[in-house]
Structure 1
Amino acid sequence: MQTIATETSVVGDLEVSRQLTGADRCDSCGAQAYVRVEMASGELLFCAHHGREVHAKLFPIAKSWHDESARLLEDHRS
């Protein structure tokens, strides 16, 4: 499993990054998603709160864990 700061996917020989946007919503509560978890069965999106809540349970079995919750601190400092 990998933990990544920015989401990347390979298209041909190019790597393409996709950050989470305001359109990405938490599967638990519908708030803006800051955590993307890739599981064998598919993708899960979580707000920072629910991402922390499920981390201990899902992190060990996730294929990848993409956490952008640090953006909340950056937004707050601006």
Structure 2
Amino acid sequence: MQSLEEADVNAALAPSLSAADRCDRCGAQAFVRARLHGGGELLFCAHHGRKHAPALEGHADIHDESDRLTTPEPTTAD
């Protein structure tokens, strides 16, 4: 399991997921990136990210942006 400091560094180095990034399981917008320790990367929607997280623990560095689903986007004043 990675330390909190390692997780912060990984999050800082990982590019943000965009609307073009799609879940490898269902094709919905991806909010979770799993970088496998053996190489490779998996993208998941929030639902499949939660579902597969226990199996990925210890085998991947997980970057989770699912909090963006509940955080309102900043608006500009007109």
Residue 34, structure 1, aligned to residue 31, structure 2: yes
Distance 1:60 1:35 in 2: 16
Over 2 Å off, 4+ runs: 1-7
What's the CA shift string for 1:41-67, capped at 9, x where partnerless?
Answer: 3000000000000000012211x1100
Structure with greater strand percent: 1
The answer to whether residue 66 in structure 2 is matched with residue 69 in structure 1 is: yes
Query: When the two structures are superposed, what TM-score results if normalisation uses the length of structure 2?
Result: 0.75
Match of 2:58 among 54, 57, 60: 60
SS in 2 for 1:60: coil
Q: Which stretches in structure 2 are left out of the alignment for 5+ residues? A: none
Structure 1: gaps (5+ residues): 9-16
TM-fit CA distance, 1:75: 3.6
- SS of 1:74's equivalent in the other structure is coil
Q: TM-score, normalised by structure 1?
A: 0.75
- In the other structure, the counterpart of 2:11 is 6
Structure with higher Rg: it is 2
**2:45 counterpart residue number:** 47
Paired residues, number: 68
Question: Identity over aligned residues, as a percent?
Answer: 47
Native 8 Å contact 1:24 1:45 kept in 2: yes
